[in-house]
Amino acid sequence: MTMQQSTGLSELAQADTHFHLHSQTNLRDHQSEGPLVICQGDGIHVIDEAGNRYLEGMSGLWCTGLGFSNARLAEAASRQMTVLPYYHTFNHRVPDVVVTLAERIARLTTMSAPKVFFACSGSEANDTMVKIAWAYHRARGNPRKRKVIAHQKGFHGSTVMGASLSGLPNMHQAFGLPLEGIVHVQCPHYYRFAHEGETEEQFKDRLVAQLAQCIEQEGADTISAFISEPILGAGGVIVPPRGYFAAVQALLKQHDILFLADEIICGFGRTGQWFGHQTLDFRPDLMACAKSLSSGYQPISCVVVDGPVYAVLEEQSAQLKGFGHGFTYSGHPVAAAVALETLTIYEEMQLPQRTRLLGQTLHDMLSPLLDHPLVGEIRGIGLVAGIELVRDKATRASFPMHITIGAQVERAARQQGLIVRNMGDAIALAPPFIIEPEQIGELMSKLTVALDHVAAANIL
């Protein structure tokens, strides 16, 4: 199927260019290109204002695991709106549904006596983790431990702290970021950053040694935390080498540095386990979750705090007469009700097992693309995959930036009725959890045609 062509912007699109400031968008280009206006959802598909139907290969923004038309989630929201549309969690108050949700999340984790804090976005959750890390060290008599180590090419949100933690220069330049005290270390991407002749094990050891050197140079007594996504999503779906996080965790423990897991993308089933840190074999002190928590149907996020960290916070709170953090919409009852129903559906569909099986299907179907002239690497785990586009497969050389090969593939896929995401010259896939094997086949057919068209246009 080829999408309908338009000679100009629709009335809605024109209004968008006049009145709407877009996220993560080239604002000048948007004035002429306009938006893709989506008006309806149907299972794994979305439909634009012209009636064109797209297989949503990215679950929106990694989040809509149950697709775009789940009646049970709509009913959960409607029911809660009629019972208790809003209440807060300040000063010993709580909506009943929030208590139930906190317990459900806590019981899914492997943490010891965890406590769950709620917010509305992944950015807020990551900010909260940093504040808790600061509070933890201050309470233990180490107020100088404030620096945070993060990865180059990691993504942790768009708030001031979230953007600072993110190792993406385009999120820093316009705003004078990152904040002081944020330290970025090498992205753990073997394909792109290994030395010639270096094995994956040697690459892992070198990165851990560099982290150890970074800690020594910065001073362990000044570092509060290390933050990482289990799989670096917006940086290109980067899977660190086997054993990397276990070695990092041992190093952090040696220096009394907290391990913060950004599970915004990986959490709640995406990698074939409930949480990405289980798949990548480490145990965080705090973790932030969002996106799949409500299948994207309501804005909700959470921070799960391990028991020993919480115990320090509790003692500090007693001394200070309160825990001075929280948001108006922390634990919003409608969002909590939708998240609770989402978790119920996940458990009914045995989600981790499902994503493991479907993930195997996805990666099996992707593997022939390694022979495609544009494709240098295919990576990922479970229902998340990244495709590295290269100019020269033998040397791994990238295309010149001005060619924007990744954007070309994204546009060509859209013409075939498939939505993917390009992060530079990496193409990401994170289809809804409800996708079926034959629909993965459909996704692959559309993507292959798009790659062929772009390869032909660039005369490889």
- Edge-to-edge order in the sheet of strand 375-380: 375-380, 385-389, 426-429, 421-423
Structure tokens at 330: 């922390």
The CATH number of residue 435's host domain is: 3.90.1150.10
80 lies in the same domain as 229: yes
What are the average pLDDT values for consecutive 10-residue runs of the chain, which has 460 residues?
56 95 94 96 98 98 98 98 98 98 97 97 98 98 98 98 96 96 98 96 98 98 98 97 98 98 98 98 98 98 98 97 97 98 98 98 98 97 98 95 96 98 97 98 98 89
343 lies in the same domain as 408: no
Instruction: Supply the pLDDT for residue 96.
Output: 98
Write down which residue in 286, 313, 348 finishes a domain: 348
Instruction: Supply the pLDDT for residue 457.
Output: 93
Contact between residue 281 and residue 241 where contact means Cβ atoms under 8 Å apart: no
Domain that holds residue 200: 73-348
288 lies in the same domain as 264: yes
Quote the percentage of the chain above a pLDDT of 70. Answer: 98
Instruction: Supply the pLDDT for residue 301.
Output: 98
Instruction: Supply the pLDDT for residue 8.
Output: 81
| Burial letters 72-87, b for 16+ CB under 10 A, else e | ebeebbeebeeeeeee
State how far the Cα of 312 lies from the Cα of 305, in Å rounded to an integer.
Answer: 11
172-229: pLDDT as tens digits: 999 999 999 999 999 999 999 999 999 999 999 999 999 999 999 999 999 999 999 9
List, in sequence order, the alpha helices (H) in 257-305.
276-280
Q: How many domains does the chain have?
A: 2
CA distances from 40 to 44, 54, 56, 341, 440 (A): 11, 11, 12, 22, 21
253 lies in the same domain as 397: no
Write down which residue in 348, 367, 394 finishes a domain: 348
**Could you say which DSSP state residue 52 is in?**
-
SS3 358: helix
292-332: pLDDT as tens digits: 999 999 999 999 999 999 999 999 999 999 999 999 999 99
249 lies in the same domain as 281: yes
Instruction: Supply the pLDDT for residue 187.
Output: 98
Instruction: Supply the pLDDT for residue 459.
Output: 67
Residue 10 belongs to a domain: no
Query: In the block, which residue shows the tokens 């897991």?
Result: 261
Write down the pTM of the prediction.
0.95
